[in-house]
Structure 1
Amino acid sequence: MRKNQATIKQLNNAPELKEHHTLALSDYSLHYVEAIPSHSESNHSLDKESLVFVHGTPGSWEGFAQYFLDEELKQDFYVYSMDRPGWGGSTYPNSRFPSDLAAQSALIGPMLESIWRANDEEKVILVGHSLGGSLVPKLAADYPHLVKGIVILAGDLDPALAEARWFNKLFDWLPDFILPAMWRHSNDEVMAIQPSLAEAQYLFSQLDLPIVIVQGKKDGLVRPGSAVKAPNIFTSADLDVVFLEEANHIIHLTHAEEVKKAIYRLKAKF
């Protein structure tokens, strides 16, 4: 995580490597960041897909900062990273925080459409980590005209294995003023995962697009058994499941090369 902070600092000191975008909607805004190649090649070619990273909870686009420095990835993809509604530079409507997957998905749609339109209306690839990994199949189900394939990194998928931990239940019981807003909202999202996944299981079973799942076997936050059950969840998808023997939960930070391999593995399916 210290290394990622140094990478974020490096990016911030080189504004030519990224471009910030903000969609101002009627009652909320969406912020996402685009990686700009540092070589002379045009950033728009006919054979490149858009790659959109989706962070977990808590989090922001910065969780994927190191991928903005990967020249091979930027050569082959348009690389984006979003702030989900309520996180980073994205806001949400003046109502209850959108903690469940359906609410997040409903708000993210305009961002995906903006990226889709910017790149010749080519469908996007979504890469989600943790809660973002649970969210990307919901986004694919809700926006099949915008999403081409998904990579799930350490995401809860099976509601039977997504029960909140004791400390999440404790935080949920505490009065709102006890916890800072960031941790309260994060805990709300964790508490909403199980019912959100239960509601989405039929939609997941109908997904007929390529999916690659990467799961660390030493993950202490998302139960690895969820990935084991993935073939029974995504019954209509072209599915690959990759287990990393020594990896913990933050594989997007600690195992970037394996994440890249998963992205190219997905690309090869098209």
Structure 2
Amino acid sequence: MPSFKFLRFVILVFFLSASLSSCFSRYIISAKQVRKHYAAKKIKPEERIIKNDTLALCIASVGSDTLPMLLLIHGAPGSLWGYMNLMDDEDLQKRFHIVSVDRVGYGKSRLKMKKKRRYVTSIATQANALLPVFDLNKSKEKVTVLGRSYGAPIAAKLVSLEPEKVKELIMVSPVIDPEKEKFYWFSKWGRNSFIQLFLPGEFNTATAEKYSHSDELKKLLPVWHSLDVPTTVIQGGNDWIADPANIDFAKKHIKSKRAQYIFLHKAGHMITYTHLSMIKEMLLKNQLFEDKISSIDVSSASGQMGN
């Protein structure tokens, strides 16, 4: 018969696995959930995979490819379907060719490398893998790049690689300060190789990114100093994932005079959901993108901007 210690260990493993999975289940959308979501909708994003000798990059797009591109980059964990509310918006569909991507290591996106690595934690490698998406822009206008959470620094690195192709950069709930990386009670357990067997692959990828993220962000410091496209940073005051002080880091290190900052006092991490109308207004009216430094504090619960 199995010993009491072994049974206790098994129970602990399953308890931790269930707890870890539930912590971030809201950020992982299954194929079944996607099918259910779009079952009754007339317009569904077209999913496809961009392939070359080393890369398989899964994207979902909606809107005519002759419209200006809006490129959406998710965080960790996450997926391209985390932006369904933006892709589903009829007003945005008429204005943009909306392209949401699975970063390498998430969903169906994979990268073949000379050295075998289980996870791709390099911000530079993640950004380079997204470069082929720019080739899908068939409009005469430059691309708007929006990155959320861990996707924000990757978006910034991507913009720095091809700044002439980018109209503006939007970073929402960005995790960009190498000194403000947050760890939780479950973080160390998420690194346990046995427990990882019971966890979603996206969670394990996110854990690997978390433990290398601070060092990767330090490598990114020169990017902030040279960033010269119109840039907006949006941060919530009640964000439990991205420390609200990340916006102070942005103000200190982004030297461009075409940068602006929005602090939403009562907002949490998922600003693209809780403040969708504000994000839409920014994208459709270009209200906030001006060639000057500005800093806006929004203290209302809704976070609505003026006309």
TM-score normalized by the length of structure 1:
0.84
Match of residue 59 from structure 1:
78
Q: Say whether the 8 Å CA contact 2:106–2:205 is kept in structure 1.
A: no
CA distance in 2, matches of 1:44, 1:109: 17
Q: What is the distance in 2 between the residues matched to 1:167 and 1:256?
A: 30
Distance 1:212 1:259 in 2: 11
Structure 2: which amino acid aligns with 1:21? R
1:114 correspondence with 2:132? no
Query: How far 1:268 moved relative to its partner?
Result: 4.5
State which of 128, 139, 147 in structure 1 corresponds to 2:158: 139
Q: What is the aligned length? A: 257
Alpha-carbon offset, residue 17 of structure 1: 3.3
Give 1:1-270 correspondences, 5 Å limit: 9-14=36-41, 16-36=43-63, 43=64, 48-93=67-112, 95-96=116-117, 97-111=119-133, 113-116=134-137, 118-120=138-140, 122-165=141-184, 167-172=186-191, 174-175=192-193, 178-179=196-197, 180=199, 181-263=201-283, 264-265=285-286, 268-269=289-290
* SS of equivalent residue, structure 1 residue 126: strand
Q: Which moved more, 1:93-102 or 1:200-209?
A: 93-102
Task: Give the conservation status (yes or no) of the 8 Å contact 2:149–2:175.
Answer: yes
Moved more, 57-66 or 16-25: 16-25
| Cα separation, 2, equivalents of 1:215 and 1:8 | 32
How far does the alpha carbon of each residue in 1:20-57 deviate from its partner, in whole angstroms, 9 at most, with x for none?
Answer: 22111113311111113xxxxxx365xx4210111111
Structure 1 spans left out of the alignment, 5+ residues: 37-42
Q: Runs of 5+ in structure 2 lacking a partner? A: 1-25, 292-307
- Which has more helix, going by share of residues? 1
- Structure 2 CA distance for aligned equivalents of residues 226 and 251 of structure 1: 15
* TM-superposed deviation, 1:200: 0.7
**Distance of aligned partners of 1:15 and 1:33 in 2 relative to their CA distance in 1, 3 Å threshold:** farther
Instruction: Identify if the C-alpha distance between structure 1 residues 244 and 182 changes in structure 2 by more than 3 Å, giving closer, same or farther.
Output: same
Return closer, same or farther for 1:207/1:170 CA change in 2, 3 Å cut-off.
same
Could you say if the C-alpha distance between residues 188 and 155 of structure 1 is closer, same or farther in structure 2, counting changes exceeding 3 Å?
same
User: Separation in 2 of the partners of 1:50 and 1:108?
Assistant: 14
Q: 2:302 is matched with which residue?
A: none
Deviation larger for 67-76 or 210-219: 67-76
Alpha-carbon distance in 1 for matches of 2:163, 2:194: 37
> 1:165-195: CA deviations, max 9, x gaps?
45334433x2366343322211011122211
Residue 15 of structure 1 deviates from its aligned partner by 6.4
* Alignment check: 8 A CA contact 1:99 1:188 kept: yes
In structure 2, distance between residues paired with 1:44 and 1:178: 40
Q: Is the 8 A contact 2:232 2:259 kept in 1?
A: yes
- Supply the distance in 2 between the matched residues of 1:98 and 1:251 (Cα, whole angstroms): 26
Residue 30 of structure 1 aligns to a residue whose secondary structure is: strand
Could you tell me whether the CA contact under 8 Å between 1:211 and 1:266 is conserved in 2? no
**Per-residue deviation, 1:211:** 0.7
Change (3 A) 1:12 1:192: farther
Seen in structure 2, the aligned counterparts of structure 1 residues 93 and 44 have a Cα distance that, compared at 3 Å, is: closer
Paired with 1:182 and 1:44, the residues of 2 have a C-alpha distance of 29
SS at match of 2:222: helix
Contact 1:208 1:236 in 2 (8 A): yes
**What is the rounded CA distance, in whole Å, between the counterparts of 1:93 and 1:27 in structure 2?**
5
| In 2, Cα distance between equivalents of 1:244 and 1:142 | 30
Residue identity (%)? 23
- Relative to the length of structure 2, the TM-score reads 0.75
Secondary structure at the aligned position of 2:164 is classed as: coil
Distance 2:169 2:190 in 1: 32
